[in-house]
Amino acid sequence: MMQVAAAADAVTAGCAFPDQEVSARRQWSLAEVLALYDLPFMELIWRAQNVHRQHFDANAIQRSTLLSIKTGGCSEDCSYCSQSARYDTDLERERLMPVDEVVAAAQSAKDKGASRFCMGAAWRSPKESDLEKVLEMVREVKALGLQTCVTLGMLKEGQAEKLKDAGLDYYNHNLDTDKEFYGQVIRSHTHDDRLDTLAQVRDAGISVCSGGIIGMGESRRNRAAMLVQLANLPKPPESVPINNLVPVPGTPFGELPPLDPFEFVRTIAAARITMPTSYVRLSAGRQEMSDELQTLCFLAGANSMFYGEQLLTTDNADIRRDDALFERLGLRAI
């Protein structure tokens, strides 16, 4: 245990702690991140909280709302996804939503306290005719005073620039897992395909939202490697969603057992330490979390959440429950 602590001390030596000058790390090794995971739980939380307080208000949580603007019928084979056309999940395929309905949903989200509005479409990549409609949605939602985010799959050349010109703030494209485990989750495209889209987004001047899903049968080593890949991008993502798998009946991962909740919190803490200036977001799976578990995640450095009753096709925590938790904890929505 002393060897683990010593390794973790070396890891966090360049991270932000009280009364120390902030020093940004450029590269993380897998061994360093695994050393974080191996720390005693209380030690890891303490270190993550100290890093968090150097960069953020520890009592402020950013709220995002996610809307499925085009549901079902996706050609990809992501083993966790209810929207893949390859699996029988009883999900009805829907057309792209009209712009006015999307804007109305965005206004409602803003009225309820969201500051960012995310629009997701079940595509491998957007067709140009569909992209034009999405660009209009981005412009209209931006005009409401909300931050805008879309997740549309893999982008073709020139599409990121069009999204930037429309006023898009964030593009979400999760790595899902590390490169080694990726082929056990998705086979219809590669891990490098995802990295290529992230590079296009970054080159266009759009902020990156990218994280992953844990609880898919991956090892701790895979989880740590995913964080290494995210943290070691030329610039870490501004937003890092950490999803806890919601098993969907009919998908290959529909009957996987739940992940140890403390392992989920450890992943939040490791994400905070390795990406100290990023927003770390509690994403899918929050409905199944107790108030106490969510509070541990906030203590570990999560400072963003999806807010609203629906996440694309899966349920999310009730808004009234979230508001009550914020009041009980003295948290402030931003």
Among 118, 223, 266, 297, which one carries the catalytic annotation?
Answer: 118
Among 15, 47, 81, 297, which one carries the catalytic annotation?
Answer: 81
Among 25, 149, 223, 272, which one carries the catalytic annotation?
Answer: 149
3-state helix, strand, coil in the chain (%, to 5): 40, 15, 45
Residue 209 is among the residues annotated as catalytic for this protein: yes
What is the amino acid identity at position 36? L
Among 25, 47, 194, 281, which one carries the catalytic annotation?
Answer: 281
Residue 74 is among the residues annotated as catalytic for this protein: yes
Number of C-beta neighbours around residue 235 at 10 A: 10
Among 15, 47, 194, 209, which one carries the catalytic annotation?
Answer: 209
Q: Whole-angstrom Cα distance, residue 37 to residue 238?
A: 22
Among 15, 25, 47, 74, which one carries the catalytic annotation?
Answer: 74
Q: Whole-angstrom Cα distance, residue 195 to residue 193?
A: 5
Q: Residue 170 forms beta bridges with which residues?
A: 149, 207
Among 63, 78, 116, 223, which one carries the catalytic annotation?
Answer: 78
Residue 15 is among the residues annotated as catalytic for this protein: no
Residue 149 is among the residues annotated as catalytic for this protein: yes
Closest CA to 120 of 107, 100, 102: 102
Can you give the pLDDT at residue 215?
Answer: 96
Domain boundaries of the chain, sorted by first residue: 61-333
Q: Whole-angstrom Cα distance, residue 16 to residue 47?
A: 9
Class of the 61-333 domain?
Answer: alpha beta
Can you give the pLDDT at residue 11?
Answer: 54
Q: Whole-angstrom Cα distance, residue 44 to residue 48?
A: 6
pLDDT digit string (tens) for the chain, length 334 residues: 545 455 556 555 445 333 333 345 569 999 999 999 999 999 999 999 999 999 999 999 998 888 999 887 787 888 888 887 777 777 777 889 999 999 999 999 899 888 899 999 888 888 999 999 999 999 999 999 999 999 999 999 999 999 999 999 999 999 999 999 999 999 988 999 999 999 999 999 999 999 999 999 999 999 999 999 999 999 999 999 999 999 989 898 989 999 999 999 999 999 999 999 999 999 888 888 999 999 999 999 999 998 765 444 444 557 788 899 999 999 999 8
Can you give the pLDDT at residue 19?
Answer: 32
